[in-house]
Amino acid sequence: MHEKEKDLIDAFLRGQVDRRGLIKGLGAMGLAAGTAGTLLNLGQTRALAADFDWQAHKGKTIKLLLNKHPYADAMIANLENFKKLTGMEVVYDVFPEDVYFDKVTAALSASSPEYDAFMTGAYMTWTYGPAGWITDLNEWIKDPTKTNVNYAWDDFLPGVRKSCAWNGQPGGVLGSDDAKQWCIPWGFEQNNITYNKGMFDKVGVSVPGNMDEMVATAAKLTKDVGGGVYGIGVRGSRSWATIHPGFLSAYANFDQKDLNVSADGKLSAAMNTAESKAFHKQWVQMIQESGPKDWSTYTWYQVGTDLGAGASAMIFDADILGYFMNGGDNKMAGKLAFSAFKANPAAKAPTPNIWIWSLSMSNFSKDKDATWYFMQWASGPEHALFGATEMDFVNPVRQSVWNDQMFREKLNKSYPGYVEMFDVSAPGASIKFTPQPLFFDLTTEWAATLQKMVAKEVPIDEGLDMLATSVDGQLKEAGLG
């Protein structure tokens, strides 16, 4: 790195030049944007090394278990900087998601020391934590001798950070003062609307602003777009993953819950209230009138693929699913737009449920201190900004990245409405489920009941009463109710 380039990068790191001025200045020196980004990364690595003993575990090797995902791709692309910073070696195994969680469970349940850290969903830690398979990371986060001063724990979005912490008590509030930090948030998904602007313009409809409007808009799109296009894509397979995206985000906006928690900590079903039944009727009607014909088979992949192919006019699902369908070689690339969604007209703001890809430390790691060095780097502000600006690392979990003007402009340029959608919905974004060990079983049963309602195999009120009875029975049998 030449002295002029080094001086400019140092000025940026001191806060004397903003990111735009840095890239513009490096460009004036004849450097392409990609090269400028690489040099900035090197400069940040050098600055990190000045404030903390990153070489404390030089020569050590850690092993990671990773899901095949853009978050992992961004980390791998930046891994050489971590190696230069620490002198450590990192090896990893990457598996596709259809087998990934089986690999995680197999390693942890066998108390295997093979993997030091791994990617996980926050929901999975409700099983891993109480089982003793993963480590409470508060020990490292709160230790200034093991965590660099620039890690900025408070920079993580509050709803996301708290959703990754639980005290292990069934029904315990996520992020409570006595919570254990089972994982570090890495990237997350809010559930909002992605829509085909051309189809909306053709039919003459606006983006729906509440549940009544969503049902009506989806029906009109199904009727008038033509070509076999249906109005709205939502998940429908017999899986917990059908409940957690759009469905729960809208449901929670009406102040509805999955479970009640009594004063003495006992859990009971909460999905058969009058308000819940009214919501289910709208949701079922929407799918029957405006969903795909084989809705009961739909997962993340089918919902996204149909939107990207122009087979659906909108989805109410993960915002990043829409992000990826608006790029690549998808037929509708560049034709999609984004909007926050507030299902309840009386609500003050959206309350999206979220999925959080996170990093956890195996309790069977042979060198937890060295593993934490990797984890704090991979979840730190410097790598987060690299992933967001140089790669497709959406959604970042740090407010500082969302404050970065170049990142916001990158999104505004190619993803209309995405930044505004985030700004409106992020304050209310968190996990809305009640943490408890039967989460996957009970939520999958909820999805199965929803399938029966859509297929008209059971009336909605009766179906929810039956579901609540079943849930209460399972909770009592497990000693939770």
The reply to whether 268 and 166 lie within a common domain is: no
- At 26 the pLDDT is 60
The reply to whether 117 and 25 lie within a common domain is: no
User: pLDDT for 420-465, tens place per residue?
Assistant: 999 999 999 999 999 999 999 999 999 999 999 999 999 999 999 9
The reply to whether 83 and 116 lie within a common domain is: yes
The reply to whether 281 and 374 lie within a common domain is: no
Residue 169 in domain: yes
Whether pLDDT at 6 is above 90: no
User: pLDDT for 307-324, tens place per residue?
Assistant: 999 999 999 999 999 999
Residue 146 in domain: yes
- At 51 the pLDDT is 79
The reply to whether 179 and 301 lie within a common domain is: no
Residue 253 in domain: yes
Residue 55 in domain: no
- At 29 the pLDDT is 62
The reply to whether 440 and 292 lie within a common domain is: yes
The reply to whether 330 and 467 lie within a common domain is: yes
The reply to whether 327 and 464 lie within a common domain is: yes
Whether pLDDT at 14 is above 90: no
The reply to whether 203 and 303 lie within a common domain is: yes
- At 37 the pLDDT is 57
The reply to whether 304 and 217 lie within a common domain is: yes
Residue 129 in domain: yes
Residue 334 in domain: yes
The reply to whether 80 and 128 lie within a common domain is: yes
Domain count, the chain: 3
The reply to whether 217 and 242 lie within a common domain is: yes
Which residue segment(s) compose the domain that 326 sits in? 190-353+432-478
Average pLDDT, the chain: 94
Three-class HEC string of the chain: CCHHHHHHHHHHHCCCCCHHHHHHHHHHCCCCHHHHHHHHHHHHHHHHHHHCCHHHHCCCEEEEEEECCHHHHHHHHCHHHHHHHHCCEEEEEEECHHHHHHHHHHHHHCCCCCCCEEEEEHHHHHHHCCCCCECCCHHHHCCCCCCCCCCCHHHECHHHHHHCEECCCCCCCCCCCCCEECCEEEEEEEEEEEEEHHHHHHHCCCCCCCHHHHHHHHHHHHHHCCCCCECCECCCCCCHHHHCCHHHHHHHHCCCCCEEECCCCCEEECCCCHHHHHHHHHHHHHHHHHCCCCHHHCCHHHHHHHHHHCCECEEEEEHHHHHHHCCCCCCCCCCEEEECCCCCCCCCCCCCCEEEEEEEEECCCCCHHHHHHHHHHHCCHHHHHHHHHHCCCCCECEHHHHCCHHHHHHHHHHCCCHHHHHHHHHHHCCCCCCCCCCHHHHHHHHHHHHHHHHCCCCCHHHHHHHHHHHHHHHHHHCCCC
Q: What is the CATH number of the domain that holds 316?
A: 3.40.190.10
